[in-house]
Structure 1
Amino acid sequence: MKTPRTRDAMAGPLRRASTFCLLLVLALMARATWLAVAEADGYTSNPANARITIDRYAQPLGNILVGGQPVTGSVPTEGPLAFKRSYTDGPLYASLTGYTSQAYGSNQLESIFADLLDGSDPRLTGPVEALTDPLTRSRPAGGDVVTTIDPAVQRAGWAALGGRQGAAVAIDPATGRILGLVSTPSYDPSGITGRSKADERAWQALSADSGKAMVNGALRATYAPGSTFKLVVAAAALESGLYPNVDTPTASPNPYTLPGTRTVLTNENAAAPCANATLRTALEYSCNNVFAKAAADLGEAKLSAQAAKFGFNLEKLDTPVRAATSVYPAGMEPSQVALTGIGQFSVTATPLQMALVSAAVANDGVLMTPSTVSKLTDHSGRTVQEFAPAELGRVMSAQTAKQLQSAMVSVVTDGTGKAAAIPGLTVGGKTGTAQHGVDNSGLPYAWFTSWADDGKGHRIAVAAVVLNGSTDRDEITGGGLAGPVAKAMTAAYLKR
């Protein structure tokens, strides 16, 4: 029989062991609580968590709508991922939708609104579902993204670009809503949405193309804008008082020698009346001497300030896809400033940016924030979020805008932009042919930016660039190659 002393001797170690075990249990409970509460979001959003992908494709995704109709869909698949994304007219709308892939992630609208499309956005959950969904491990049906794109404008731009490499953007100047967003060459996102060998081969082929087909040339690529940038210079000249109006003769010798150099700048059309030409005439004939001289007279600071009002050097311009930054350079010599006056040296712009230039002119000097999305809805069509038009800023006075409107109309009626004229519409435009490459060795870029008015309160602004319109340099002109693209998109919108 054990004595009391023996029992007491055994009780001590048992109490210590029990206390230690209790502390271990409490520590495990605390750790589990910490993981479930404090670090839950981290595990939920970790790309290595396969459950995220399984849950995302457990049900059909919501859709991206164009003209009220879905241009996306979902199709059933075999394996742990029940559905994969599909696209209607994939190449036509790839520059808008982007892609979402079981293997390669997502981009553009598919990525920005991924939570809405897969149903995990908390705004899609009603009060009853908020209580029941965590228990049933279910989520609401995916919501929809309603875009501003006009399908007729989109198709017109696509057809006009044809098989050439280029891009085009069309905007409603009064609202900033993007009506067309075309980039060629393009690709079909449906080919990379799954995990099959065919999807892998398609992805590898697109990657081997250096991403050319997958680059959103309308928003994410920048090019020398050439003579279309002369609109920015003209605005700066009028706003600063360098010239009182577009019909005042300028002190512009022809040819013009770049300041501080012996380099003589000539004009494409040697017979054009460019000596001391007015801004109107200089825009009509795209006189290099006038705008290089104006840029030199204005100086870098004034030109940079005016360009910034149009959106140049703006690092965050979201449509909601973020556009590449269009650049007006800094720290230049006077001769280099003069070259920026004709959209050369280191000036770069997206097609979106040059569409914004025309949009600001057409909207009496006020620039609206560009957007491709009008609202988000749940599966039943209830609005979850609306994107109202928003002003980006005043670019110029209404008087200056009216002057430029008049001059741009002259470009189409009497100048280099005649190919963009549309019977029954008032059309204003500006052509551009931009040199690029080492010693201008590359084929020039053909540009056209314009606005049009149907006289009934409807306007559209367009910018188009064609990068490989012809192998013959003499045949590459903004009016001849890019002008018809802008014309087609304009007619599709205003001539219906």
Structure 2
Amino acid sequence: MNAPLRKVAISVLVLFTLLILNANYIQVVRSSELRSDPSNTRILAEEYDRERGQIVVDGNPVAQSVATDDTLTYLRQYPQPDLYSTVTGYYSLVYGNSGIEDAEDEILSGSDDRLAFRRIADLFTGRDPSGGNVELTLDAATQQAAFDALGGVRGAVVALDPETGAVLAMVSSPTYDPGQLSSHDPAAIRAYSDSLSAMDPDPRVNTTVSERYSPGSVFKLIVSAAALEDGYTPDTVVPAPQYYTPSDSSRAIPNFGNEVCDPSGEQSLIQALTISCNTAFAGLGVELGEDRVREAAEAFGIDEGGFTMPLPVVESTVGDVDGNAQLANASIGQQNVQITPLQGAMIAAAIANDGELMTPYLVDQLQAPDLSVVDQTTPEVRSQPVSADVAEQLQEMMVSVVENGSGRRAQIDGYTVGGKTGTAQTTTDGDDNQWFVGFAGPDGDPQIAVAVFVEGGQGTGGDLSAPVAQQVMSAYLAAHGGN
């Protein structure tokens, strides 16, 4: 072979080699990326020609696909859009998926490996392929009560089963209609999305797990836990002056409304929590030290990293603490302390469950199209933040808050209710964030734990958030007989 032909042959060989490598790179390395690309119309057509599985609450679909006469065979619908949008998310031609629609997409679309035999059987039988179902842990009555009690104000409610970690209610308000983002009309989808983007906050953001807020006096539960683990008791007397001035600051920390916690300037730990005495807990946090406060917070899951359940949950954090002044403010839930509403419910649930924190979960089971169970969630212990003895003492102190202190509006006739209110200052005009975290059940048997967050409300956690918690817990106990 002469030199020119040899060069041509080599060039052709190199080109064929590059072509083969590129084909393999696209089909193997980038296959998942290209398949999930929302602009891949072939994949979109394939997905919309397959009946997507249902998202189910108490046996009823809260997201389902229905046949249409459109070019795209199936349309995603949400029978109770406002009530469940926080959890379901949307399934959109334009914007992809969110919420459970995203987190459990493989089972819903039918592409999950656990459905492989079903897909093979479909090929041989000629049966139309379809996705599997996702059965949620939500309790319909409790979810409805949480939605109704918030009444459209900016805020969030999370309710947990303390014994298992199952999510009983999850509402982020305001809400939206995921069906309008899941239509087959791209122009209408974009127009509705633009209207949501113009709102503050954007209703598509699930604030229960995706946003963090100053917890205010709710954080006093963490400081109380640290103190009790270190040998304090509910009856231990601690300093409770009208003002507390840290050693490295000239700025005094006042009590709410500049009130006097006790004329004597001191009071028992249980009484300090009952009336939510700022100066007592600011001083107590400094006395315990930053390391001890952080250690207690981490035991409850704060500063322990984000996780999925299966929705992604952002990390709650104590934040940077530089000196006693910042530690004093952090000890009353201000400074840089930030937690999610879910984290607030986790704190209450761990205390209610004798000090054992269960991993929160939102999916009870995954089902194949024939309703056979392909996966069932098994409750798991996440941590043991406090001993059973300390948890019992914290329960006693939280019950005192509801029976004698700032949480009175959370009381439920015939049941034992414990809680902690929180009012986190965010502005100078009194438009603060309001919290209540707590638990309820027959005496000695807490069956539901909640966190209620109201953003920018006029009042206190006892005024605004405690009544919401009362309605949520009452609905669950009424629906389940308190058993």
TM-score of the superposed pair, with normalisation by structure 1? 0.88
Distance 1:495 1:210, change over 3 A: closer
Question: What's the CA shift for 1:395?
Answer: 0.1
Question: What's the CA shift for 1:330?
Answer: 2.7
Cα distance between partner residues in 1 of 2:437 and 2:8: 81
Q: Do structure 1's residue 183 and structure 2's residue 179 form an aligned pair?
A: no
Residue 3 of structure 1: aligned partner: none
Cα distance between partner residues in 1 of 2:8 and 2:190: 57
Equivalent position amino acid for 1:165 in 2: R
- 1:454 touches 1:494 (CA, 8 Å); kept in 2? no
Distance 1:211 1:282, change over 3 A: closer
Cα distance between partner residues in 1 of 2:278 and 2:8: 91
Match of 2:105 among 109, 114, 125: 114
Match of 1:249 among 237, 240, 260: 237
Question: What's the CA shift for 1:266?
Answer: 2.1
Match of 1:163 among 152, 164, 172: 152
Cα distance between partner residues in 2 of 1:155 and 1:425: 21
Residue 53 of structure 1: aligned partner: 44
- 2:122 touches 2:129 (CA, 8 Å); kept in 1? no
Match of 2:452 among 417, 441, 464: 464
Distance 1:480 1:42, change over 3 A: closer
SS of corresponding position for 1:261: coil
Cα distance between partner residues in 2 of 1:295 and 1:38: 53
Distance 1:150 1:338, change over 3 A: same
Q: Do structure 1's residue 204 and structure 2's residue 194 form an aligned pair?
A: yes
SS of corresponding position for 1:346: coil
Cα distance between partner residues in 2 of 1:45 and 1:96: 21
Question: What's the CA shift for 1:349?
Answer: 1.0
For structure 1, which segment, 216-225 or 205-214, has the greater mean C-alpha deviation from structure 2 after superposition? 205-214
Residue 174 of structure 1: aligned partner: 163
Question: What's the CA shift for 1:287?
Answer: 0.4
Distance 1:17 1:477, change over 3 A: closer
Distance 1:296 1:113, change over 3 A: same
Question: What's the CA shift for 1:80?
Answer: 3.6
Residue 471 of structure 2: aligned partner: 488
SS of corresponding position for 2:471: helix
Cα distance between partner residues in 2 of 1:18 and 1:341: 77
Cα distance between partner residues in 2 of 1:335 and 1:140: 63
Equivalent position amino acid for 2:98 in 1: N
Cα distance between partner residues in 1 of 2:9 and 2:324: 82
- 1:58 touches 1:82 (CA, 8 Å); kept in 2? yes
Deviations 1:212-251 (A, max 9, x none): 211112111111101111001100111123x2x0111113
Cα distance between partner residues in 2 of 1:410 and 1:373: 34
For structure 1, which segment, 69-78 or 180-189, has the greater mean C-alpha deviation from structure 2 after superposition? 69-78
- 2:75 touches 2:184 (CA, 8 Å); kept in 1? no
- 2:55 touches 2:135 (CA, 8 Å); kept in 1? yes
- 1:248 touches 1:278 (CA, 8 Å); kept in 2? yes
Question: What's the CA shift for 1:422?
Answer: 0.5
Distance 1:284 1:140, change over 3 A: same
Question: What's the CA shift for 1:286?
Answer: 0.5
Distance 1:180 1:26, change over 3 A: same
Cα distance between partner residues in 2 of 1:191 and 1:337: 47
SS of corresponding position for 1:388: coil
Residue 453 of structure 1: aligned partner: 441
Cα distance between partner residues in 2 of 1:347 and 1:434: 10
Cα distance between partner residues in 2 of 1:252 and 1:298: 15
Cα distance between partner residues in 2 of 1:110 and 1:76: 18
Q: Do structure 1's residue 69 and structure 2's residue 69 form an aligned pair?
A: no
Distance 1:272 1:253, change over 3 A: closer
- 2:242 touches 2:260 (CA, 8 Å); kept in 1? no
Distance 1:292 1:23, change over 3 A: closer
For structure 1, which segment, 212-221 or 448-457, has the greater mean C-alpha deviation from structure 2 after superposition? 448-457
Q: Do structure 1's residue 429 and structure 2's residue 419 form an aligned pair?
A: yes
Cα distance between partner residues in 1 of 2:369 and 2:121: 19
Question: What's the CA shift for 1:386?
Answer: 1.5
For structure 1, which segment, 266-275 or 413-422, has the greater mean C-alpha deviation from structure 2 after superposition? 266-275
Number of equivalent positions: 474
Distance 1:289 1:271, change over 3 A: closer
Deviations 1:128-185 (A, max 9, x none): x43763998x873110111110010011011111021111100011101110001111
Distance 1:125 1:246, change over 3 A: same
Residue 409 of structure 2: aligned partner: 419
SS of corresponding position for 2:206: coil
SS of corresponding position for 2:307: coil
Q: Do structure 1's residue 223 and structure 2's residue 213 form an aligned pair?
A: yes
- 1:149 touches 1:180 (CA, 8 Å); kept in 2? yes
Equivalent position amino acid for 1:359 in 2: A
Deviations 1:29-60 (A, max 9, x none): 95697365666545434444221111111122
Cα distance between partner residues in 1 of 2:60 and 2:453: 28
For structure 1, which segment, 30-39 or 428-437, has the greater mean C-alpha deviation from structure 2 after superposition? 30-39
Cα distance between partner residues in 2 of 1:428 and 1:191: 41
Q: Percent identity?
A: 38
Cα distance between partner residues in 1 of 2:154 and 2:101: 24
- 1:92 touches 1:182 (CA, 8 Å); kept in 2? yes
Larger radius of gyration: 1
Cα distance between partner residues in 1 of 2:210 and 2:30: 35
Q: Do structure 1's residue 444 and structure 2's residue 442 form an aligned pair?
A: no
SS of corresponding position for 1:307: helix
Cα distance between partner residues in 2 of 1:447 and 1:32: 56
Equivalent position amino acid for 1:404 in 2: L
Question: What's the CA shift for 1:265?
Answer: 2.0
Distance 1:124 1:299, change over 3 A: same
- 1:120 touches 1:139 (CA, 8 Å); kept in 2? no
